[in-house]
Amino acid sequence: MVPLAYFQLVSAGLFAIGLYGVLARRSAVLIVMSIELMLNAVNINLIAASSHLEGLANFAQFDGQIIAIFVITVAAAEVGLGLAIILRIHRNRSTVNVDEIDLMKW
Amino acid sequence: MPELTQNIGLLSPEFALAGLALGILAIDLFLPDGKKQVTPWLSAAGLAGIIALSLYMLWGRQETLYGGLLAVDAFSLFFKVFFLGLGILIIFTSMEYVDRRLDNPGEFYGLLLLSILGMNVMAQSRELLTAYIALELLSFCLYVMAAYAKGEPKSNEAGLKYILIGAFSSAILLYGVSMIYSSVGVTRFADISLALGSAGDVSPALWAGLALLVVGLGFKVSAVPFHMWAPDVYEGAPLPVTAYLAIGSKAAAFALILRLVAEGFVPAEDLWSQWQIIFAVLAAVTMLVGNLVALAQTNLKRLMAYSSIGHVGFLLAGIAALAPSSVLASNGVMLYLVGYSITNLLVFAAIIAFFNLTGREEIVDLAGLADRQPFLAACIAIGFFSLGGLPIFAGFAIKFYLFVAVATGGFLWLAGLAIFASLISIYYYLKVIRQMYIEPVPEYVAAGSEREDGIVYEPEQNLSPSFLMLGVLAISMLAVVLAGVYPAPLLDLIEAASQAILPGA
């Protein structure tokens, strides 16, 4: 069995890439995609952990897999909502560049 | 598995609320255009019924559902009734605004009800995944509501900023959950505290997981340095949604944090004493930055945003002072949440009534309000005095109780800093009050004018707020004064609720 630490490294790398994307990308759509990367890093972490942890009898502990399914579902809903709002902005202002969406500033 | 369906009847208020929300959405679909005004009345009546149902079914119960994922106890009942009651008042405050300015009113109230469902489950959840799902139910509704004025670029922008930051912060929170799960293999708060207590030396992965969890929640309650979304979202969102964000979502997030910390962190005493410092520093920075930046604001909604960040700092100070042997800090946080919510409701109801009359929301537009609309001016003044913490209003009682709790919890410096921050806050509250009571009435008021939003306003002296608004204002003003002079009955309820989450005290 591949050690858990390898999975955690992959997951941490993916999370870091997503984090970089959120901070560096200027298009709202690409930011949403980067957030998806971060959520998938979470899923890798959860599923790897759940197959390595000991559960009842001969089974691996499956809590992590259940959480991952919920995360996938919530992420899908989140993308739907995010894209709807981005589309609305695009209609009103013909841009999805977050640097140009700056009616309000602190 | 019999244990899963046992006690399922105790969830009936939640089922009823979900049914009500979906029912409102369905009814709205079939109502002809002229008749849509019944949806808010139906929603409010439904909420009142659910309050009665919850009190009847859950009073004095202390049980768990789904093998410990949800708790039915005094704590969750307290917050449930509180959220449902706030929901009714928010519906009444938004009615006129929604009717005039927003499309699809039925869906607005449907989303509002669904978000209350999310808040109720947040207050009951004792497990990370359940809490997360409830949090997302609340947040998703709020994302849509913030962007509800479809044609308004500001509202779109608020929605975009909110959903991007919100999704980003949930990803961080979830990564924290996954780290906690992969290092200890459990997600229930009580199990986490056992693992923390027995681990001796806590592994770096677990530390990182807990830290990411706190950062994610910090984004949700807009604690400094994770607050940058709040002012923009507050300013851009439609006014009733801003009110709801400031009141409801904040109280729900703190209900969750309170239970998480009390059941997950506090029992592991050695570790909690280290975490207390982190929460205390977070609280100190939040209250200072929130109150200092508020000094420079010119827009009413933005001022309220920074003021609410300052209040989050006070609440976090209460969280930092939680102790396994005393319910004082937990009482303080809950009392503060109640007092802060009703005071904010009073202020926002007055601002919404003012906006309905004039379509303006800058602080300078309030000039001479005491002569133009004396009652509204009095409401805003009382609300701001209360938020600043002056006696006989709720603000004094709650601040006094909370700061004493923080000081006895071992954080005397934090209590001192909180008093200093309150003093700063009085300055910008008084600035608004000066506008209303000392500045002369501007000339455009008497003339009547067409505003940017295209609605033509009559000369203002002929207008007065609607009866509904006056009713909400009167009720919340009464509540603010009552909670200030005689908080004892409220405190009894809160005491019972605290004992449910801190059984050792």
pLDDT-based confidence at residue B222 (cuts at 50, 70, 90): very high
Pairing status of strand B456-457 against strand B449-450: antiparallel
Listing DSSP states for B461-472 in one string gives GG----HHHHHH
Which among A45, A81, A89 has CB closest to B182?
A: A45
Per DSSP, the three-state class of B453 is coil
- Interface mutation vs chain B, best among A25, A30, A37, A45, most B CBs within 10 Å: A45
Q: Is the pLDDT of residue B465 over 80?
A: yes
Confirm or reject contact between A61 and chain B (CB < 8 A): yes
Tally C-beta pairs within 8 A across A and B: 122
Please report the pLDDT score of residue B158 as a whole number.
94
Q: Do residues B299 and B235 make contact, with C-beta atoms less than 8 angstroms apart?
A: yes
Q: Which of B54, B85, B84, B53 is nearest to B72 (CA)?
A: B54
Confirm or reject contact between B176 and chain A (CB < 8 A): no
The DSSP output letter for B486 is -
> B-chain residues within 8 Å CB-CB of A104?
154, 157-158, 231-232, 235-236
Phi and psi at B323, nearest 5°, equal -140, 150
The answer to whether residue B227 sits within a structural domain is no
Chain A nearest C-alpha distance from B495 (Å) = 34
Please report the pLDDT score of residue B503 as a whole number.
83
In this structure, is the dihedral angle defined by the CA atoms of residues B441, B444, B447 and B449, taken in order, positive or negative? negative
Q: Is the pLDDT of residue B455 over 70?
A: no
Mean per-residue pLDDT over chain B, rounded: 90
- Residue/partner pairs of B272-277 with CB below 8 Å, 24 or more apart: B272/B322, B272/B324, B275/B210, B276/B320, B276/B321, B276/B410, B276/B411, B277/B320
Listing DSSP states for B321-349 in one string gives T-BTTB-HHHHHHHHHHHHHHHHHHHHHH
The answer to whether residue B216 sits within a structural domain is no
Phi and psi at A60, nearest 5°, equal -75, 160
Give tens-digit pLDDT for B269-297. Answer: 888 988 999 999 999 999 999 999 999 99
The answer to whether residue B369 sits within a structural domain is yes
> B-chain residues within 8 Å CB-CB of A42?
171, 174-175, 177-178
Confirm or reject contact between A8 and chain B (CB < 8 A): yes
Cα-based angle B234, B238, B242 (whole degrees, multiple of 5): 40
B492 CB-contact burial (10 Å; exposed 0-12 / middle 13-18 / buried 19+)? exposed
Give tens-digit pLDDT for A44-69. Answer: 999 999 988 876 666 668 888 999 99
Which among A31, A42, A92 has CB closest to B175?
A: A42
Q: Which amino acid is at B117?
A: L
pLDDT-based confidence at residue B59 (cuts at 50, 70, 90): confident
Output B198 or B431, whichever has higher pLDDT. B431
Please report the pLDDT score of residue B454 as a whole number.
60
Phi and psi at A102, nearest 5°, equal -140, 45
Is the preceding omega at residue B225 within 30 degrees of 0, hence cis?
yes
Output A31 or B445, whichever has higher pLDDT. A31
Phi and psi at B223, nearest 5°, equal -85, 140
Please report the pLDDT score of residue B269 as a whole number.
85
pLDDT-based confidence at residue B63 (cuts at 50, 70, 90): confident
Q: Is the pLDDT of residue B3 over 70?
A: no
Q: What integer is the mean pLDDT of B212-219?
A: 94
User: With an 8 Å Cβ cutoff, are B140 and A81 in contact?
Assistant: yes
Count the domains in chain B: 1
- Give the integer Cα–Cα distance in Å for B416 and B223: 19
Confirm or reject contact between A51 and chain B (CB < 8 A): no
Nearest CA in chain A to B235: A104
Q: Is the pLDDT of residue B2 over 60?
A: no
Tokens of B3: 């244990």
In percent, how much of chain B has pLDDT > 70? 95
Chain B nearest C-alpha distance from A39 (Å) = 6
B59 CB-contact burial (10 Å; exposed 0-12 / middle 13-18 / buried 19+)? exposed
Please report the pLDDT score of residue B361 as a whole number.
86
User: With an 8 Å Cβ cutoff, are A31 and B154 in contact?
Assistant: no
Please report the pLDDT score of residue B466 as a whole number.
87
Listing DSSP states for B81-127 in one string gives HHHHHHHHHHHHHHHHHHHHH-S-HHHHHHHHHHHHHHHHHHHHB-B
Confirm or reject contact between A14 and chain B (CB < 8 A): no
Full-model pTM: 0.94
- Give the integer Cα–Cα distance in Å for B505 and B501: 9
- Give the integer Cα–Cα distance in Å for B227 and B231: 8
Give tens-digit pLDDT for B174-190. Answer: 999 999 999 888 889 98
Asked whether this complex has an ipTM greater than 0.85, the answer is yes
Chain A nearest C-alpha distance from B237 (Å) = 12
Q: Is the pLDDT of residue B452 over 80?
A: no
The answer to whether residue B221 sits within a structural domain is no
Q: Do residues B82 and B338 make contact, with C-beta atoms less than 8 angstroms apart?
A: yes
Question: What is the domain extent for residue B466?
Answer: 266-445+456-505
Q: Do residues B113 and B129 make contact, with C-beta atoms less than 8 angstroms apart?
A: no
Confirm or reject contact between B215 and chain A (CB < 8 A): no
The answer to whether residue B131 sits within a structural domain is no
The answer to whether residue B144 sits within a structural domain is no
Q: Which of B159, B125, B124 is nearest to B233 (CA)?
A: B159
Q: Which amino acid is at B467?
A: F
Q: Which of B134, B132, B223, B130 is nearest to B176 (CA)?
A: B132
User: With an 8 Å Cβ cutoff, are A88 and B156 in contact?
Assistant: yes
- Give the integer Cα–Cα distance in Å for B288 and B296: 14
User: With an 8 Å Cβ cutoff, are A93 and B172 in contact?
Assistant: no
**Structural domains of chain A ordered from first start:** 4-93 (1.10.287.3510)
Chain B nearest C-alpha distance from A85 (Å) = 6
Q: What integer is the mean pLDDT of B252-269?
A: 92
Q: Do residues B414 and B284 make contact, with C-beta atoms less than 8 angstroms apart?
A: yes
Phi and psi at B234, nearest 5°, equal -60, -40
Min mean pLDDT across B4-13, B87-96, B159-168, B201-210 is at B4-13
Chain A nearest C-alpha distance from B245 (Å) = 18
Number of Cβ within a 10 Å radius of residue B368: 18
Min mean pLDDT across B308-312, B313-317, B447-451 is at B447-451
User: With an 8 Å Cβ cutoff, are A35 and B151 in contact?
Assistant: no
Tokens of B123: 């207050």
Confirm or reject contact between B281 and chain A (CB < 8 A): no
User: With an 8 Å Cβ cutoff, are A70 and B129 in contact?
Assistant: yes
Chain B nearest C-alpha distance from A84 (Å) = 10
Confirm or reject contact between A103 and chain B (CB < 8 A): yes
Chain A nearest C-alpha distance from B309 (Å) = 14
